[in-house]
Structure 1
């Protein structure tokens, strides 16, 4: 999958429920669940459901390309 394909895939799912698993170290991961709220030219924004985490989190499309994050639409 190329970067333009990833951008278009993300933009096609605006408003959808999303789960993002981010590699945070050797054997650590961070999981985020929420709604894909916005997509900009370099990043996309997820509004989180959990009150323990910040209200929003942003990710770059390149992180999907390099497999630093895994994205699943629920």
Structure 2
């Protein structure tokens, strides 16, 4: 998958529930769950579901390409 494909894939899921798993160092990960709220040319924004601050998180498409983050779209039925 290349960068334009990643951007169009993310843009196609605008408004969807999303889970982002970020590599945070040696055997550590951070997980973010929320709604994909905005898509920009270089980043996408996730409105987080938790009451913790900050209420949003931004991620670059290149982090998906380099496998620094893993994106999963959640189907809530």
TM-score by length of 1: 0.98
Deviation at 1:54, TM superposition (A): 1.3
Q: Which residue of structure 2 aligns with residue 32 of structure 1?
A: 32
Q: Which residue of structure 2 aligns with residue 52 of structure 1?
A: 52
Residues 1-74 of structure 1 mapped to structure 2, 5 A cutoff = 1-74=1-74
Q: Mean Cα displacement is larger for which, 64-73 or 45-54?
A: 45-54
Residues 5-49 of structure 1: CA deviation (Å, up to 9, x unaligned) = 000000000000000000000111000000000000000000000
Q: Can you give the 5+ residue segments of structure 2 that lack an aligned partner in the other structure?
A: none
Q: State the distance in 1 between where 2:51 and 2:29 align.
A: 19
CA RMSD of aligned residues (A): 0.6
Q: State the distance in 2 between where 1:37 and 1:20 align.
A: 13
Deviation at 1:53, TM superposition (A): 3.9
Counting matched residue pairs gives: 74
